[in-house]
Amino acid sequence: MKIIPVILSGGVGSRLWPLSREHFPKQCLPFTDQEYSLLQQTLLRTHSLDVSDPIVVCNEDHRFLIAQQLQSIGFKQTSIVLEPEGRNTAPAIELAALEVKQKYGEDALMLVLPADHVIRDVKAFETSILKAAELAKEDALVTFGVQPTRPETGYGYIRSGENYQVAEFVEKPDFETAQGYLASGEYLWNSGMFLFQAASYLAELYTHRKDIADAVIAAYEKRNEDMDFVRIDAELFAQCPEESIDFAVMEPTHKAKVVPYTGDWSDIGAWDALYDYADKDENQNVLLGDVMVEGTSNSLIRSESRLIAAVGVKDLVIVETADAVLVMDKNQAQDVKKIVKRIKQENREEHMFHTTVHRPWGTYETVDLGDRHQVKRIMVKPGEKLSVQMHHHRAEHWVVVSGTAKVQNGDQEILLTENESTYIPVGVVHALENPGKIPLELVEVQSGSYLGEDDIVRFSDRYGR
């Protein structure tokens, strides 16, 4: 019986701002690997198992970003189930279970993995998965417990009993209690990873939280399928209660079992967790990107776009992006969310986008912004096309830097190549396409009384926006 990886990718990761943003969340970033994002690493570590095509549950706003990341590592047949809004893990896993049941049958095994975990000891993880699969075939709901290595207060714990039985779930403890858990040898960290048959999960959820089960089924039955995307009915899904799988199913069920995983593991929830996990230099620093230090210790410093120089500091986190710099006491990593909250309250955009914004057709980067003008650098991937659209408040001037642009400008259709340009007045219907084999790069100069991204009237769009 094959295992179906189910990847939960609904979070944003605001405690990892300014790198993680609402429209480019932490699971899509290469925090611990220069080549692959956390999401890609999660999928790749299932490769050596006998698994079927994965199912990813994600926020609807992230759908094209997730699809692009999956395709770039060879996952072409993935079902991407879109949550209209986050309702926590119990509903998200039910959506995946219904999709698994639809595609593979109700007895299929689901390996539920959050998209933002880091596991280096893949062999030990595989051993745990194979043992969990044996138990799951006998109708158990299996969770994975990580062997603790320190008295951690940021995780929940599981007390293990005989024959893999769960004796008790316990909430995040204080430090003294965590020390006792570690010393007893009876407790494991609650990892948030699971393996069970689709039918087993659906039955237990129906038994213990019928309100959630019924609401998700109603929303799923009204789904629409579009390319790789499974779109859930938003109005019906909004009526679903918000609850975690632990409270909804795992704690009340009598079928819970826990399989230990003894390798390294981290959920990279905040900058201090990344510091603890990462390799360090002789001064206990984690230095990433263009960084120079003198007399600096016990710090994480990450540069994305320019030189960071640090002199005579310790116990700091310094993270630089093109539009924001975070400087923080490493021991106050949880308080980053307070800054993100203030950014939202002041109607700024640094919590939502990077200066480079990803779209299904390519990217754009704002290089200058004034009261009545904006300059963007735009890249359109080969064969892709922006929507047919118009603007009420702005005109646009496009200058091709490299590649070939096929442009609809009102009633005209023209081809532009390097150093050629076109002007699109306010209110004129237009579209941009790359018919060539290399990326199209151009500079767009906008001018007008309002330059917001919501001043777009779309007439047709191949991406269903």
Same domain, 14 and 63: yes
How far is the C-alpha of 319 from the C-alpha of 276, rounded, in Å? 16
Give the CATH number of the domain where residue 370 resides: 2.60.120.10
Determine contact, residues 407/389, Cβ cutoff 8 Å. no
Which residues, in sequence order, are bridge partners of residue 374?
A: 369, 446
CA pair distance 8, 164, nearest whole angstrom: 25
pLDDT at site 400: 97
Do 34 and 154 lie in one domain? The reply is yes
Final residue in a domain of this structure, among 229, 261, 293: 261
CA 42 to chain centre: 11
Q: Are residues 315 and 455 in the same domain?
A: no
Q: Is residue 40 part of a domain?
A: yes
Is residue 292 included in any domain, yes or no? yes
Residues 321 and 423 in one domain: no
Task: Report if residue 276 sits inside a domain.
Answer: no
Q: Tell which phi-psi region holds residue 365, choosing left (phi > 0), alpha (psi between -120 and 50) or beta.
A: beta
Residue 327's SS3 state is: strand
Of 190 and 452, the structure prediction assigns the larger pLDDT to 190
d(CA 333, CA 15): 7
Residue 40: pLDDT band (50, 70, 90) is very high
Nearest to 163 by CA among 179, 140, 188: 140
Domain count for the chain: 3
What pTM was computed for the model? 0.85
Are residues 236 and 367 located together in one domain of the fold?
no
13 within some domain: yes
Q: What is the largest CA-CA distance in the chain?
A: 76
Cα gap 267→436, rounded to integer Å: 42
Cβ atoms of residues 191 and 265 within 8 Å:
yes
In this structure, are 47 and 166 located in the same domain? Answer: yes
User: Does 335 share its domain with 362?
Assistant: no
Inside any domain, residue 348:
no
pLDDT at residue 365, as a whole number: 92
Q: What's the confidence (pLDDT) of residue 464?
A: 74
β-pair type (256-261, 291-294): unpaired
Beta bridge partners of 231: 82, 224
Of residues 105, 83, 59, 57, the one with CA closest to residue 219: 83
Residues 294 and 178 in one domain: no
- Looking at the chain, the whole-number percentage of residues with pLDDT higher than 70 is 100
Q: Is residue 275 part of a domain?
A: no
pLDDT at 219 over 80: yes
The pLDDT of residue 383 is: 95
Helix axis angle, 198-208 relative to 89-104, nearest 10°?
Answer: 140
Radius of gyration of the chain measured on its C-alpha atoms = 24
Q: Calculate what percentage of the chain has a pLDDT beyond 90.
A: 78
Residue 33 inside a domain? The answer is yes
| Residue span of the structural domain in which 187 resides | 3-261
Residue tagged 């008295």 (tokens)? 151
End-of-domain residue from the set 340, 366, 384: 340
d(CA 87, CA 205) in angstroms, rounded, equals: 15
> Is 204 in the same domain as 296?
no
